[in-house]
């Protein structure tokens, strides 16, 4: 059974704090993604990675960074959390290949920045 796990389901942080969100997948997938989901805005891609140590900016990378030191782990970092980063954060992974390659999502982390 495929599995993507995220380090926390709920997180409350203060403005200015550094925040780490961890994602681990056990499917040996090459691709990993970080999204945020907000009411009325849908899922928006923050960063993604095609391989270890590789990263690509998504549609809304400002205020975020990522790290992929191991194939199974993809971390999202908020260098200095702000209230407008309060959101649901979803991690996903997929295999390479154009035939299918559907993304599998983790359960999400609901982050509140106060």
Partner 1 sequence: GQNIDQPTEMTATEGAIVQINCTYQTSGFNGLFWYQQHAGEAPTFLSYNVLDGLEEKGRFSSFLSRSKGYSYLLLKELQMKDSASYLCAVRDQAAGNKLTFGGGTRVLVKP
- The residue range among 11-19, 21-29, 40-48, 73-81 that interacts with partner 1, by the rule CB under 8 A, is 40-48
Closest distance between partner 1 and the C-beta of residue 52, in Å?
17
Select the residue interacting with partner 1 from 33, 34, 74, 89 (CB under 8 A): 33
Residue 88 to residues 52, 53, 74, Cα–Cα distance (Å): 25, 25, 17
- Exactly one of 27, 43, 52, 77 binds partner 1 (CB under 8 A); that residue is 43
Residue showing tokens 């203060």: 14
Using CB under 8 A, pick the residue from 20, 54, 107, 112 that binds partner 1.
107
How many other C-beta atoms can be found within 10 angstroms of the C-beta atom of residue 92? 22
Q: Is 83 helix (H, G, I), strand (E, B) or coil?
A: helix
Binding to partner 1, residues 47-76 (CB under 8 A): 48, 50, 56, 58-59
Contact call for residues 4 and 72 (beta carbons, < 8 A): no
The contact set with partner 1 (CB under 8 A) reads 4, 33, 35, 40-45, 48, 50, 56, 58-59, 90, 98-108
């Amino acid at each position: 059974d495929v599995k993507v796990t995220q380090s926390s389901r709920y997180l409350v942080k203060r403005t200015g704090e550094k925040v780490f969100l961890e994602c681990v997948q056990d499917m040996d997938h090459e691709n990993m993604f970080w999204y945020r989901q907000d009411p009325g805005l849908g899922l928006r891609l923050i960063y993604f990675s095609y391989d270890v140590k590789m990263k690509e900016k998504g549609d809304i990378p400002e205020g975020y960074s990522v790290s992929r030191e191991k194939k199974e782990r993809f971390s999202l970092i908020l260098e200095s959390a702000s209230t407008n980063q309060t959101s649901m954060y979803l991690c996903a992974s997929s295999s390479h290949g154009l035939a299918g390659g559907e993304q599998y999502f983790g359960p999400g982390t609901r982050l509140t920045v106060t």
